[in-house]
A and B are shown apart, each in its own frame.
Chain A
Amino acid sequence: MLAYIARRLMLLPLVLLGVTALIFFLMQFLSPYQLLALYVTDITELQKGPEYMNQLVSKYGLDDPPLVRYGDWLGNLVRGNLGWAQSARMPVSTAIAKFLPSTIELVLWSVIPIVFGGIWLGTIAATRKDTLVDHGARIGALAGISLPGFLFSLFLLTVFYSKTGWFPPGRISLWAEKLITSGALRQYTGIYTVDAILNGNGAFFLDSLRHLVLPCFALTIVQWAGLMRIMRSTMLETLRQDYVTTARAKGLLERTVIKKHARRNALLPVITIAGGMIARMIGGLVVIETVFSRKGLGSFAMSAALQLDFPAILGFAVLIALVTVTANLVVDLLYAWVDPRVRLG
Chain B
Amino acid sequence: MKVLKKLVTNPLSIVGLVILLGFIVVALLAPVLAPPKANQSPYRIPRDGWMAEPQPPSSEHPFGTTEGQYDIYYGVVWGTRTAFRIGITLVVVASSIGVLIGSFSAYFGGWFDEIVMRITDVFFAFPYLVAAMVVTTILGKGLDRMMFSLILFGWMPTARLIRSQILVLKEKTYVEAIRALGGGHLRILFRHILPNAIFPVIVQATMAVGFMIVLAATLSFFGLGAEPGYADWGQMISRARNWVVMPPGTPFKYWFTIVFPGAALLLFSLSWNLVGDAFRDIYDPRLRGR
Contacts and interface: CB of A to CB of B under 8 A. Distances in A.
Contacts of A324: 124-127
Contact of B223 (A126, A304, A306, A313): A306
A206 interface: no
A27 B258 CA distance: 37
Interface residues of B, number: 56
A71 B248 CA distance: 54
B118 A301 contact: no
B122 A301 contact: no
Interface residues of A, number: 62
Contacts of B129: 282-283, 286-287
A252 interface: no
Contact of B210 (A146, A306, A314, A317): A146
Contacts of B122: 15, 18-19, 21-22
A142 B274 contact: yes
Nearest to A279: B127
A151 B138 contact: no
A316 interface: yes
Interface string A261-296: 000000000000000000110110011001000000
Contact of A154 (B125, B223, B245, B287): B245
A147 B121 CA distance: 28
B130 A316 contact: yes
Nearest to A142: B273
B224 interface: yes
Interface in B105-160: 118-119, 121-131, 133-139
Contact of A320 (B127, B269, B274, B286): B127
Contacts of B124: 279, 324, 328
A83 interface: no
Contacts, number: 158
Interface string A224-252: 00000000111111000000000000000
Given A142-B277, A154-B241, A148 B126 contact: no
A interface SS class: helix
Nearest to B271: A146
Given A14-B118, A22-B123, A146-B270, A151 B247 contact: no
Interface string B211-252: 100100110011110000000000001001100111111111
B130 A325 contact: no
A151 B129 CA distance: 16
Contacts of A151: 237, 258, 262, 265-266
Contacts of A310: 137-138
A27 B137 contact: no
B184 interface: no
B195 interface: no
Contacts of A60: none
B182 interface: no
Contacts of A232: 289
Nearest to A290: B222
Interface in A94-153: 126, 142-143, 145-151
Contacts of B224: 305-306
Interface of B: 12, 118-119, 121-131, 133-139, 210-211, 214, 217-218, 221-224, 237, 240-241, 244-252, 258, 262, 265-266, 269-270, 273-274, 277, 286-290
